Structure formats: structure tokens, C-alpha cells
Amino acid sequence: QVELVESGGGLVQAGGSLRLSCGASGRGFSSYAMGWFRQAPGKERENVAGINWSGGTTSYANSVKGRFIISRDNAKNTVDLQMNSLQPEDTAVYYCAAGATIVSVTTKPTYWGQGTQVTVSS
């Protein structure tokens, strides 16, 4: 019973930064682990970050570790993805997701957002 809507995507030059936000509606947001995925043209969807229900635990794909930061604000029912040092290979549609645990949400989420396009120019 969670609806997710991403925002903040756009065009950015290599080396730049972008912040994505995911707004959640429905009951029990604070009980869900959240995650971000991305899917580039011609490639499979991959997890890039996860965060547990309280925000005390985070996880990142090796390709984005040290550059991306996931955070959440349960009072606002939002989860953000701060993306720094962006590179052309980061170009993809980015999806917000929700699940029971940080492990399950990063592998097989229960809920998905519609996605937002991020394009990084060289």
C-alpha cells in the first residue's frame, strides 16, 4: 500500500551532482526499507543503494560507493539519493523501491516508482 514517485532527474555534465528524491504515500513508510535502482539502455536493472527503516544502515553498489549517498526522512516520507562526481556511465532511468528489509529491497523490492531519467554528458 505504498506509492512511490521519483523526482529530480535531468541532464548534468560529467563531474557534476544531482539529487533525486522519492516521495511515498500510504501507510507504514517508516516500516519499509528503501532502495534506488537504475537501468541503462540495453542493460538490466541494477541496485545502486539501500537504506533500512530507520536510516541507520545503508548499502551501495561498488560502482557508486563513495559518490552516492542515500538518506531518508521518515517525517516527510521521503528518500533521497545524492549523486556526486557523476559520469556518463551513470546515465540511466533511476527507480525508487520499497521492501521489508534492506536485503530484500535491494534484491526483490515489493514496490516500485515510475522512474526518473538521469543523463550525464561527457
DSSP string, 64-118: TTTTEEEEEETTTTEEEEEE-S--GGG-EEEEEEEESSHHHHTTS-SEE---EEE
Is pLDDT of 37 > 90?
A: yes
Closest by CA position to 35, among listed 20, 46, 47, 50: 50
Q: How confident is the model at residue 1 (pLDDT cuts 50, 70, 90)?
A: confident
> What are the tens digits of pLDDT across the range 41-57?
999 999 999 999 999 99
Question: What is the arithmetic mean of pLDDT over 18-47?
Answer: 94
> What are the tens digits of pLDDT across the range 68-107?
999 999 999 999 999 999 999 999 999 999 999 999 999 9
What's the chain's length in residues? Answer: 122
Residue 102: the pLDDT is: 97
In degrees, rounded to 5, the angle at the alpha carbon of residue 55 between the alpha carbons of residues 8 and 100 is 90
Residue showing cell 540511466: 92
Residue 29: the pLDDT is: 86
| pLDDT > 70: percent of the chain | 100
Q: How far is CA 27 from CA 1, 2, 31, 87, in A?
A: 7, 7, 9, 36
Q: What type of residue sits at position 43?
A: K
Task: Write out the three cell numbers for 75.
Answer: 517525517
Is pLDDT of 27 > 90?
A: no
Residue 30: the pLDDT is: 87
